[in-house]
Amino acid sequence: MPLDQDFNEYPYDEPTQEHQDEPHEDGTEMSFLEHLEELRWHIIRALAAILVFGLVAFIFIKDIYRVVILGPSRPDFWTYQQMCKLADFTGYADLCVKKLDFKLQALGMADQFTMSITSAVIIGLCFAFPYAFWELWRFIKPGLRTSERRAARGATFYVSMLFLMGLFFGYYIVSPLAINFLANYQLDESIQNQYDITSYIGTLITLCVGCAIMFQMPVVAFVLSKVGVLTPSFMRAYRKHAFIVILIISGLITPSPDIYSQVLVSLPLAILYEVSIWVSGSIERARLKELAENAKNDVQNSDFS
C-alpha cells in the first residue's frame, strides 16, 4: 500500500535532482518570484477547470435543480424510499418518510438567479476538485524528498476518493435526515414551514461539503503522523473519547431524535477513525524500521572502523 512504504529503500536525507529547484537552461535555479509565477499558473489552471465545470452546470442548472438539488425535498427521494423499506423491516414506522411539510420560496427578486450562479460554482468546484488538487499537488511534489514522495504516492486518488465519498454521504444520508426532521418539526399546527430557497441551499451545501471535509480524516492523520504530532498509541488511548465526539457530531448534523439516524451517520465516521489509526500505525512502523536499519548500519560501520 502507498501509505506503508519501505523508507530504507529510498534514503530520507538524500534529495534527488528531481526534488531540487528546477534550473533554467543556463543552469541557474529558479528564484522565489519565479516559483510564485509557477504557483500562479497552477492556480489559474485549477480555477479554469472549476469555471468550465461551473459553466456546464449553469447550462443545465434547471435540470440539476429539479433532479439533484431539490431531490431531498421530495418524499420520492431514493433515501426516503430506503428508509421506508427499513421501517417495514424493523417495524419502526416512524422511519418511513411519506410527507415533507414545507414549501420553498424566493423572497428576493434576484434570489433564484444568484442561487443558480452560486450552485453552479459549488457544483463546478466539486467536479473539478480532483483536477484542482492534482494541480496543487504538482507544485508541492517536486519539493518533497524521495521517501516522502514514495509515502505520499496516490495522494490525489485517495484525497479525491475520500472527498467524493464524503460528498455522496452528505447528500444521500446526512442531508435527507436533517431536512426530514427540520421540515416536519412544528411548534404548533397553525405554523407553516415556508423556507427561503437560500436557506435550503445553504443547508444542503453545508452538510454535503462538511461531510466531504470530515472524510479527509485519514489524510489528516497521515500528515500529522508524518510530522510526528500524531501517534497510533495516542489515538487508541483516546478512542472512547473520539467515539463520544463522533456521536455528538452525529447528533448535531442529524437533529432527528431516532437512534437509527445517528447510527447511520456515526458508523462511517467511526470506521474512518479506525482507518486513521491504521494509517498512523503504518507511518510509525516505517519510521521504527528506518531507525532500526540506521542503527544496524551504524554498528556495522563502527565494527569496521
pLDDT in tens, 153-197: 788 898 999 999 999 999 998 888 888 888 877 787 888 888 888
The whole-angstrom separation of Cα 129 and Cα 147 is 26
pLDDT the model gives residue 8: 43
pLDDT the model gives residue 184: 79
- What is the end-to-end Cα distance of the chain in Å, rounded? 38
Task: Give residue-wise pLDDT tens across range 241-293.
Answer: 888 888 887 777 666 666 666 777 888 889 999 999 998 888 888 777 777 77
Mean pLDDT computed over every residue of the chain: 81
Considering the entire predicted model, what is its pTM? 0.78
How many angstroms from the chain centroid is the CA of residue 165? 7
pLDDT the model gives residue 67: 92
Q: Which of 167, 162, 172, 178 is nearest to 215 (CA)?
A: 162
102 three-class SS: coil
Task: Give residue-wise pLDDT tens across range 198-231.
Answer: 889 988 998 898 889 889 999 888 888 887 788 8
pLDDT the model gives residue 92: 77
Give the contacts of 290 (CB within 8 A, at least 6 positions apart): 7, 8, 12
Top-confidence residue, 280 or 150? 280
The whole-angstrom separation of Cα 273 and Cα 163 is 16
The confidence band for 122, taking pLDDT boundaries of 50, 70 and 90, is very high
What percent of the chain has pLDDT above 90? 27
